[in-house]
Amino acid sequence: MTYLASTPSRTLSEHRTAVRDINKTLKESAAAVLITLDPALVGISQDRFYDVVMDDTILLQGCLQTFRQNRERFRDLLVDSRGRPVNDDLIPLRCGRSLQDVVAMIVRTHAKRHFRVVLGGNPDDPTSRAGGLYQAISTYLLHDWQVPLVPHYAPLPVALVRDLGPRLLDLHDVAAVQALTSTPTTPDPAPAVTTSEAAPTSRSHGDAPGSVSSSAVPVSLSSPEAEFWWEALCDRSVAQALGNPTPERRQELVQILVGVNDAVRSELFAGLTLTTLQAAVCLATAFRQLGRPRFLAVFGRPGRPATVAGLATRLRDRGIGSRTDLLTLARATESLLRT
């Protein structure tokens, strides 16, 4: 985390000290508590927790919600400089900044990382696409409810963001942000998935290796996991990287992606610190390259964990990680699965 709003009364030394203390707390004490509270964080080692969560909109949103719902579990961290409990988000903590300040830092850090991936360029360089948008919007990134809006801020024209200014804070949901553009990115309505259409997610003991069980588990697009895959696949940058799949194709991909095995999550998601958008591109590219039977044999349940781990290693050897742009990730995945 590199951004912290400063005022004339705060020296550069104080600013750096506060940033260092907050980062240390987020990476160590806060991470240790969150990992015990949120099942979605299982398998993410504490030393990589910060980068994995900061790069992923869904995980970060979940962490902030978990914190709000379990605030008492963080009481040792929410104290002032004299060790007294702080229950007001506006009162300075031991680090010299309020909880409201810390939340704003987190939102801005996530926005910088997301803009770097989907827009390209250095978000600290205002002449780059990522930097131009970040410079225009950073002042108004203040609240935890804005985290799920970050992917939808990315397509906004910089001139529009500058014109909106503080009015951006009046837009509290995805639809309101999308309505700002002349070409809204509202996803097509997701058709209902019937039992007969559901993707196979398990294989009976009698099935031959690599075959697909006929006992499919129904998949509903109203489930939380299906919803975040649907949203990721409807993201404009993801759609472009995948060749703008049709709504029917996206539905097919959702059916497949909700059934990926644990090795996919531990080796590809956490192992490579991929964001949700990157994971969607990687897996959708693999599905296109391999076809349904072969994809399910490797990435479905139970799948082939050793093969998944091998792919993750080869992607890592090519420098693939949370900073990789989506088109490069798609090309690398396709290239490796051809060999």
Confidence of residue 45 (pLDDT cuts 50, 70, 90): confident
Half-sphere exposure of 260 (CA within 13 A, CB side): 25
Query: Are residues 136 and 213 both part of a single domain?
Result: no
- Between 2 and 337, name the one with better pLDDT: 337
Which residue carries 């985390």 as its tokens? 1
Task: Looking at the structure, tell me whether residues 303 and 209 fall in a common domain.
Answer: yes
- 147-169: per-residue pLDDT in tens? 999 999 999 999 999 988 888 88
Q: Is residue 310 part of a domain?
A: yes
- State how far Cα 60 lies from the chain centre: 7
Q: Do residues 132 and 221 both lie within one domain?
A: no
The parent domain of residue 330 ranges over: 195-338
Domain-embedded: residue 1: no
Q: Which amino acid is at 97?
A: R
Contact by Cβ (8 Å): 94, 152:
no
Shared-domain flag, residues 232 and 297: yes
- 154 within a domain of the structure (yes/no): yes
- 200 and 316 in a single domain? The answer is yes
pTM here? 0.54
Q: What is the pLDDT of residues 177-230, one digit of tens each?
A: 988 875 434 344 433 333 233 333 333 323 322 222 222 323 445 566 777 788
Quote the radius of gyration of the chain (alpha carbons, Å). 21
d(CA 58, CA 53): 8
On whether residue 299 sits in a domain, the answer given is yes
Q: Token match 């490069």: residue?
A: 328
The pair of three-digit structure tokens given for residue 213, joined into one six-digit string: 């069980």
Q: What are phi and psi of 261, to 5 degrees?
A: -85, 175
126/255 same-domain check: no
Q: How confident is the model over 299-323, as pLDDT tens digits?
A: 998 888 888 888 888 998 888 887 8
DSSP state letters, 63-89: HHHHHHHTGGGGTTTSB-TTS-B---T
Are residue 39 and residue 119 in the same domain, yes or no? yes
205 and 152 belong to one structural domain: no
324-336: per-residue pLDDT in tens? Answer: 888 889 988 988 8
Inform me whether the pLDDT recorded for 255 exceeds 70: yes
Note whether residue 313 is domain-resident: yes
Residue 214's pLDDT is 27
Give 65's contacts (C-beta < 8 A, 6+ positions apart): none
d(CA 158, CA 168): 12
Would you list the DSSP string of 285-315?
Answer: HHHHHH-HHHHHHHHSSS--HHHHHHHHHHH
Tally the domains of the chain: 2
CB 290 within 8 A of CB 337: yes
Whether the ω angle into residue 302 lies within 30 degrees of 0, i.e. cis, is yes
Q: 124 with 244, same domain?
A: no
